[in-house]
């Protein structure tokens, strides 16, 4: 190809429809990058989660997790009942009623509990909710591996070996680097003893 031809081809490229396509692809790529960045900076994940528990005292381990700093319990379902279990293995069931049938327990159930220290900019410790699935196993291999709730506010994945600190908003406390746990929006109303998980 001569220099002259090359210049003509370059000019053709600049005004060709293909260039518009390339620009669109580049813009899409930048958009995807910014979305990923946005998710990293956002403390709540974009996965779906729905659960309403009226009168949390029905399940004493859930009531303790909602009221006591540094206490956590797991939340699962067997189809007929919600099962709440603490780190010591005590399990309290609640029968699922007809007005709870729209529930959705995220990827693999929840961990619910109250932080030991308030988050930045807040006065009181709040109730938090994480997915019971290891976030790194799900992100890296697309598999849901259940975490094991441990005492003192930790949860461990026996598949990848990471331990997460629930009181540190689900950040990794031991094991390979990675992301923090998937966190959901949760609302606890102590006067009415109502717990509501609603995400995103």
**Site residues for Zn ion per CB under 5 A:** 134, 137, 145, 157, 159-160
Using CA atoms of 103, 105, 110, 114 in order, give the dihedral in degrees to the nearest 10: -30
CB of 157 to Zn ion, least distance (A): 3
Token pair, residue 181, equals: 């746990």
- Order of all β-strands in the sheet with 186-189: 49-53, 194-199, 186-189
Q: Are 65 and 73 in contact (CB under 8 A)?
A: yes
CB of 158 to Zn ion, least distance (A): 8
* Cβ closest to Zn ion, residue 127 vs residue 148: 148
104: DSSP letter: B
* Cβ closest to Zn ion, residue 114 vs residue 145: 145
101: DSSP letter: T
CB of 186 to Zn ion, least distance (A): 22
Neighbours of 18 (CB within 10 A): 10
* Cβ closest to Zn ion, residue 163 vs residue 196: 163
* Cβ closest to Zn ion, residue 70 vs residue 175: 175
CB of 31 to Zn ion, least distance (A): 29
């Amino acid at each position: 190809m001569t220099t002259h031809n090359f210049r003509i081809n370059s000019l053709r490229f600049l005004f060709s429809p293909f260039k518009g396509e390339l620009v669109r692809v580049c813009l899409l790529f930048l958009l995807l990058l910014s979305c990923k960045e946005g998710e990293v900076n956002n403390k709540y994940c974009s996965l779906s989660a729905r659960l309403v528990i009226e009168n949390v005292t029905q399940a004493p381990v859930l009531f303790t997790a909602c009221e006591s700093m540094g206490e956590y319990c797991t939340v699962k379902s067997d189809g007929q009942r919600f099962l709440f279990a603490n780190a010591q293995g005590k399990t309290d069931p609640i029968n699922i009623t007809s007005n709870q049938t729209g529930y959705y327990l995220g990827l693999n159930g929840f961990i619910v509990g109250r932080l030991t220290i308030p988050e930045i900019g807040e006065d009181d410790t709040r109730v938090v909710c994480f997915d019971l699935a290891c976030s790194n196993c799900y992100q890296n291999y697309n598999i849901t591996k259940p975490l094991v709730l441990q005492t003192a506010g930790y949860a461990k994945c026996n598949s990848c070996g990471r331990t997460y600190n629930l009181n540190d908003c689900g950040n990794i406390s031991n094991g390979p680097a990675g992301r923090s746990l998937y966190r959901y929006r949760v609302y606890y109303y102590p006067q009415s003893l109502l717990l509501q998980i609603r995400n995103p």
